Amino acid sequence: MSHYTTVLEKSDKKNAMVVKTHHESESLGIHIRGSCDTWRHPDHVRFEAERLVIDTLEDMLRTAHRKSSELDLPKKWRPRLEITWHPNRRTSYHKRGTITLALCHYVPRNGVGEASFTYTEYKRLQKEPAIGGFTTNDWRNCVRALVAHELAHAIQRSGVPHHKGRHRKIDYKKPHGHGFQQLYALLRRKHVRPFLDAEKMDECISI
Ligand SMILES: [Zn+2]
């Protein structure tokens, strides 16, 4: 994983270090937070998950920027990304243009994990077919869905879709309202569903 340059920066809190990781081939810098002595995942597992998050986010941003998405996001628009590996952090969120992902409980310590993983959505979304919860054999699919959820919030909060054509009639203000659900469904359909479908195909073939 020589793609990564990891720089330890001075502590922002007692016993906590801020680690800044850059990917060499891209300008996208992400901030990684978590106290080193409480990191439970070995470097190669963390790096794989971080790489997955970056790649997934880039792919999703390409979709969101596409003219056919009708969102008309400015070409350079992107959220900032922060990842925390702290074991006590379970909640991911979007706040003022920054997506913060708490990955510790999504990524198995050995990078492989159990045979089955469950992705749970907010109660009112959990049963929706396109954007609800699911089980999968691969933890990576849960991480992809997590990125889609928080990116949908970031786009929703960007203010961009609120004033465009038919989008004017859509409620983008409510946190998990209609506008959010549309954005989230678009990202899930293109960037999560194909992986879940492929998994089902494999299961059918192996039976
Ligand atoms: Zn949410």
Cα 66 to ligand 1 centroid, rounded to whole Å: 23
Cα 19 to ligand 1 centroid, rounded to whole Å: 26
What is the pTM assigned to this prediction? Answer: 0.84
Tens of pLDDT, residues 5-57: 444 444 445 444 455 554 443 444 567 776 656 678 888 898 899 889 989 99
Total domains present in the chain: 1
Cα 153 to ligand 1 centroid, rounded to whole Å: 7
Domain of residue 161, residue span: 4-206
Cα 152 to ligand 1 centroid, rounded to whole Å: 8
Got the DSSP string for the chain? -TTEEEEEEEEEETTEEEEEEEETT-S-EEEEE--GGG--S-HHHHHHHHHHHHHHHHHHHHHHHSGGGS----TT---EEEEE--TT----EEETTEEEEE-TTTS-TTSS--S-EEE---TTTTT-TTTS-EEES-HHHHHHHHHHHHHHHHHHHHSSGGGSGGGGGS--SSTTSHHHHHHHHHHHHHHTHHHHHHHHHHHHHH-
Cα 181 to ligand 1 centroid, rounded to whole Å: 10
| pLDDT bracket for residue 59 (50, 70, 90) | very high
